[in-house]
Amino acid sequence: MEPALYIGLMSGTSVDGIDSALVRCAADSIELVATHLHPIPAGVRASIEAISHPGDDEIERLGPLDRELGRLFAAAALALADQAAVNPGEVRAIGSHGQTVRHRPPGDSRQAADCFTLQLADPNTIAELTGITTVADFRRRDIAAGGEGAPLAPAFHAAAFAHPTVNRAIVNIGGIANVSLLAGRELRMGFDTGPGNTLLDGWVRRHRQQAYDADGRWAGAGVVDGDLLQALLAHPYFARSGPRSSGKEAFNLAWLDEQLQGHRQLAAVDVQATLAELTAVSIARAIAASTPAVAELYVCGGGARNSHLMARLAQLLPGARVATTAALGIDPDWVEAMTFAWLAQRTLVGMAGNAPAVTGAAGERVLGGIYPASGIRG
């Protein structure tokens, strides 16, 4: 594989913007060249939130939103290329994760034939408006092969962060948190651990009208309620083992409100502290139970900027070095977007993008559909 430029596009559970990463990929190297965070208008965010839950006229609402997100993702890619002074024709391909609006994996006790995952941001529109070949719809082939369809980042984590003689955990704390367990260069396991920022963001938005709890300061000012924490940890997801994935279908404010019915006396700040502890404890328990033991833990995603969460992870895992992926040379904000640039490269050369040990799929699969460059921009 000759070195080539790829763009990775990602919008996560928090819907706080489109992460765009320009990456130079070769057979044995991955280099982050430039980055751009593209805004998602408030009205579009509201439409994403609405379509993420069952409702009326879903198809009539989904179709236009899919096209609108395609235009926004295309704009993000072109803005990134312009910022980096790169002609779009120099980019080999775009890897677009899209925006997940529904995730119903087999781990939710569904029949295999009824499982599905759905991401919006029409790749036809992205390819047409950018003139760049676009690879998208990465999750559904893994679902078709009996897998969870997620998380997909662990295979990239192994390629980018594995060390031949050190056992590492790579933790992405986005809306949902996931962990990749690396025994030397071997990817032993990877899975979603549960809520990352999604409950924290929703609660601070409700009570303080802020998009997120900056640096975890509000959570750090509260007191963890042990009874509430145990009630939250009683969610069946935390008792599962093996390949597993989750989403805001399971962990959302409606679920939290149900758990709070017997805790109405709690101050909002103490609920926030307890939600932060839920994130930290669920991650730490997953890592502490891993074999072989983890010597180093590196965090990426928005949670890497939350010093309260980082401190709690260090306290809960005293035997491991805890840092962000910046210590390994990659800014934690851009690891996920880089993942989809890397996956696009693998799709184009016919290499597997999933890790069956992570997703539970029947085997390795080339992921995603390829939407060739249109030759038209504008």
Considering the entire predicted model, what is its pTM? Answer: 0.93
Q: What is the DSSP string of 294-321?
A: PSEEEEESGGGG-HHHHHHHHHH-TTSE
Q: Rounded distance, CA 237 to CA 245, Å?
A: 9
pLDDT of residue 217: 98
* Whole-Å CA distances, 240 to 191, 244, 245: 11, 8, 10
Same domain assignment for residues 314 and 343: no
pLDDT of residue 108: 58
Same domain assignment for residues 279 and 267: yes
> How distant is the alpha carbon of residue 50 from its chain centre?
20
Q: Write out the two tokens for 49.
A: 């939130």
Residue 345 covered by a domain: yes
Number of domains in the chain: 2
Same domain assignment for residues 342 and 302: no
Helix (H, G, I), strand (E, B) or coil at 11: strand
Same domain assignment for residues 339 and 199: no
Query: Is the separation of the CB atoms in 293 and 167 below 8 Å?
Result: yes
Helix (H, G, I), strand (E, B) or coil at 173: strand
Same domain assignment for residues 93 and 176: no
Residue 378 covered by a domain: no
Residue spans of the chain under pLDDT 50 = 378
In sequence order, the 6+-apart residues with CB closer than 8 A to the CB of 371 are 123, 124, 126, 127, 133, 134, 135, 136
Residue 147 covered by a domain: yes
Q: What is the CATH number of the domain that holds 253?
A: 3.30.420.40
Same domain assignment for residues 346 and 322: no
Same domain assignment for residues 140 and 16: yes
The sign of the CA dihedral 281, 283, 289, 295 is: negative
Q: Express each pLDDT in 237-266 by its tens digit.
A: 999 988 999 988 899 999 999 999 977 789
Same domain assignment for residues 197 and 123: no
Query: Is the separation of the CB atoms in 77 and 126 below 8 Å?
Result: yes
Residue 377 covered by a domain: no
Same domain assignment for residues 98 and 121: yes
Give the residue numbers spanning the domain of 172.
Answer: 161-330
Same domain assignment for residues 287 and 208: yes
Residue 179 covered by a domain: yes
